[in-house]
Amino acid sequence: MTETVWHPFGASVQFLTRFPLPAAIPFTPPVLTRSLVFFPAAGALIGALLAGCAYLFDLALPALPAAALLLAVWVCASGGLHLDGLMDTADGVLSGRSRERMLEIMKDSRVGAMGVLAAILVLLLKFSLLCSLLQSADWGTCLPLLFAVPVWSRWWMSLAIVRWPYAGGENGLGSYFRGANMGRIWGSLLVGVALTAAGARIGAFSPVETIMLCALALLLCLAAGTVSAQWISRRLGGLTGDTYGALNELLEAALLLAAVAAIAG
């Protein structure tokens, strides 16, 4: 199959979401490394879905059931892939075993107690934050913030893939990204900023507020993401496909928490 400019974008969508595409995408190392630039775009598809559903659910339902349905849409948009990575990562890195044994635990398809607890706590936090967000009457602020959360969490995932060594072995899907460099990440950052700015301008954000939104999202990703990734990497000797998903889930929760705190303030 001849590679086209659409293959990297399609690969990012197929890799990170469950949105159907009309054509097959070759999952080759060159295509996957180029797809890092479009990770925020895949997040934007999820963000747009969430913003639209949030508005519609809030028209017909109270905040609690609307938040529950919105959370279900969020999980289904990625097929639970990142949530599965969070559970596997929690089972491994919180087991207190050796590095080799942690990696073996993470490859086990069964879910342990730590994985279940991690998933419950993160989902509970997201549910409560979505409920708070839906109770806000300022849709011009809430919807752009909700849209931006998956954009920036997936930008961070692209950075984590390049910044930390891969510890998942030679056959893991994450090993296909080994040829990626920081040039891809700068491109991914530009895509994330452009998409966030577009979403903010549709809402009630001024140009100055849009710049502040992008800067704060970037700083939060760098701060919270670096601490999380470094902590995991010290235990595993690097990151794996599961840990990329775990980092995404944790950053989504952190970004959503910051959004709710900003609105409350």
Distance CA 207, CA 157 (A): 27
Helix (H) or strand (E) holding 121: helix 113-134
Does residue 172 surpass a pLDDT of 70?
Answer: no
pLDDT at 116: 95
Q: Are 146 and 259 in contact (CB under 8 A)?
A: yes
Taken in order 189, 85, 52, 129, is the CA torsion positive or negative?
A: negative
pLDDT tens per residue, range 117-131: 999 999 999 999 999
pLDDT tens per residue, range 32-65: 889 999 999 999 999 999 999 999 998 889 999 9
pTM of the model: 0.93
Taking the C-alpha atoms of 220, 223, 225 and 228 in order, what is their torsion angle to the nearest 10 degrees? -140
Least confident of 40-44, 66-70, 164-168: 164-168
Buried b (16+ CB within 10 A) or exposed e, 122-156: bbebbbebbbbbbbbeebebbbbbbbbbbbbbbbb
Mean pLDDT of 131-146: 86
Does residue 178 surpass a pLDDT of 90?
Answer: no
User: Phi and psi for 206 in degrees, rounded to 5?
Assistant: -80, 170
Q: For residue 169, name the pLDDT band (cuts at 50, 70, 90).
A: low
Distance CA 66, CA 59 (A): 9
